[in-house]
Amino acid sequence: MLVKDDRRETVLSVNNVKKTIGNRLIIKGISFEVYAGEIFGFLGPNGSGKTTTIRMLVDLIKPTGGSITICGQDVHKEHNEALRHVGCIVENPELYPYLSGWENLEQFARMLPGVSEERIREVVDIVGMDQRIHDRVKTYSLGMRQRLGIAQALLNRPKLLILDEPTNGLDPQGIKELREFIRQLADTGLSLFVSSHLLSEIQQMCDRVAIISHGEVIKVGEVGALIDESASTVVWKAVPLTAALEVLGRHNAIEIVETDAGSGDQQDSNGKPYEAFIVTRVSPAAIPELTRQLVEAGISLYGIEIKHPTLEDLFLELTEGERIG
Ligand SMILES: Nc1ncnc2c1ncn2[C@@H]1O[C@H](COP(=O)(O)OP(=O)(O)OP(=O)(O)O)[C@@H](O)[C@H]1O
């Protein structure tokens, strides 16, 4: 897992970017940065503004406000210089099915200055397609087409590779292979910007993530740190329950979700307390102190069950239950 380091080179910088289409403000002033060698996830539900943002990143449409720089160059004002550093696949890569993979790469290379046959061989090697590169593309699986698309995007040695929903249509094995392959690319120093509406995918694939909802970036951070700092669900099995509620209720940072006192703070015929519990939402960092206070108040704790959140929980919390996918 990569750690944010201020000395790290910024490859993509998005500064207060807005986009109005018709009368609608589709993108509402978003900002984030992507560093060299990281896999950056761009996560949001359908219609949240991912594709519109990507289209602005590669200067297919112009922002209404704000600026985007790639390797320090303004995407709009210095179009050629900035986009020289970018490889991009939006939706499905455009390929000629009746040509071989190699011929497709040759066709594409003709449009790029200074891409030699040797470079074509290199990218074929990077995407691991040497065995099948002379077969027609129409015989390729979706995963192989995806790889060929990436090979195409790598031809001009980009610093940033933008992939829009790259796992769409892939089977679980294909997704796993793509994930590993993306990590290998990042290990070479390439930055990857991966958009997705699939949380588990972003959680497994990315170092950092920006969460976008209704055209606003509502959170940016390391995937692990975002999960760590979001509230966990904690079930306290405590007797007497009323006293425990009083202790926990003193803290503003705790949300009491549910209480179940069973049949009161009684013991059964074997002297075993009834399963009385309180469900709270609280930061994991507060749990030791709360436990201490409960014990000091003379409360017996029979169990503390912590359910750590997933990126999905965090996402749902941030977007207030907005549907994904
Ligand atoms: N040319 C357009 N004219 C009008 N509205 C548009 C246009 N392009 C996008 N929108 C609207 O902007 C919002 C964001 O769309 P966008 O395609 O960027 O979302 P997305 O996150 O990429 O979703 P999806 O994964 O479904 O493509 C949507 O409400 C969409 O209807």
Span from the CA of 49 to the centroid of ligand 1 (angstroms)? 6
Q: What is the ipTM of this complex?
A: 0.94
Q: Which residues of 47-82 are buried (b: 16+ CB within 10 A; e: fewer)?
A: ebbbbbbbbbbbbeeebeebebbbbebebeeeeeeb
**Residue with CA closest to ligand 1 atom 14:** 49
**Residue with CA closest to ligand 1 atom 28:** 47
Q: Which of 18, 19, 20, 21 to mutate to test the pocket of ligand 1 (most atoms within 8 A of CB)?
A: 21
**Do the bridges between strand 160-164 and strand 191-196 make them parallel or antiparallel, or are there none, so unpaired?**
parallel
What three-state secondary structure class fits 150?
helix
Are the C-beta atoms of 237 and 301 separated by less than 8 Å?
yes
- Mean local confidence (pLDDT), 155-167: 91
Q: Which domains does the chain have, with CATH numbers?
A: 10-85+158-228 (3.40.50.300), 231-308 (3.30.70.2250)
- Mean local confidence (pLDDT), 193-222: 90
Percentage of residues in the chain with pLDDT exceeding 70? 90
How far apart CA 86 and CA 161 sit, in angstroms, is: 6
Residue-averaged pLDDT of the chain = 86
> Mind listing the pLDDT tens digit for each residue in 258-303?
777 665 545 555 666 556 788 888 887 888 999 999 999 999 888 8
Cα Rg for the chain, rounded, in angstroms?
A: 25
The finding on whether 52 has its CB within 6 A of some atom of ligand 1 is yes
Q: Over 50: is that where the pLDDT of 50 sits? A: yes
How far apart CA 34 and CA 306 sit, in angstroms, is: 33
My answer on whether omega of the bond before 240 falls inside 30° of 0, hence cis, is yes
What three-state secondary structure class fits 280?
strand
The finding on whether 147 has its CB within 6 A of some atom of ligand 1 is no
pLDDT score at 274: 56
**Residue with CA closest to ligand 1 atom 2:** 21
Closest C-alpha to 121, from 100, 83, 159, 151? 151
**Residue with CA closest to ligand 1 atom 29:** 47
N-to-C CA span, the chain: 26
pLDDT score at 165: 87
Q: Over 90: is that where the pLDDT of 210 sits? A: yes
Q: Which H or E run includes 152?
A: helix 142-154
Span from the CA of 47 to the centroid of ligand 1 (angstroms)? 5
Q: Is 242 left (phi over 0), alpha (psi -120 to 50) or beta?
A: alpha
Q: Over 50: is that where the pLDDT of 32 sits? A: yes
Alpha-carbon distance values, 251 to 157, 234, 243, 279, 299 (Å): 54, 14, 14, 14, 17
Span from the CA of 27 to the centroid of ligand 1 (angstroms)? 10
Q: Of 98-107, 172-181, 304-313, where does mean pLDDT reach its minimum?
A: 304-313
Q: Of 28-37, 237-246, 305-314, where does mean pLDDT reach its minimum?
A: 305-314
Span from the CA of 215 to the centroid of ligand 1 (angstroms)? 9
pTM for this entry: 0.79
Task: Give the number of the atom of ligand 1 that is nearest the alpha carbon of residue 52.
Answer: 18
> Mind listing the pLDDT tens digit for each residue in 33-49?
999 999 999 998 888 99
**Residue with CA closest to ligand 1 atom 31:** 47
The finding on whether 48 has its CB within 6 A of some atom of ligand 1 is yes
How far apart CA 23 and CA 280 sit, in angstroms, is: 43
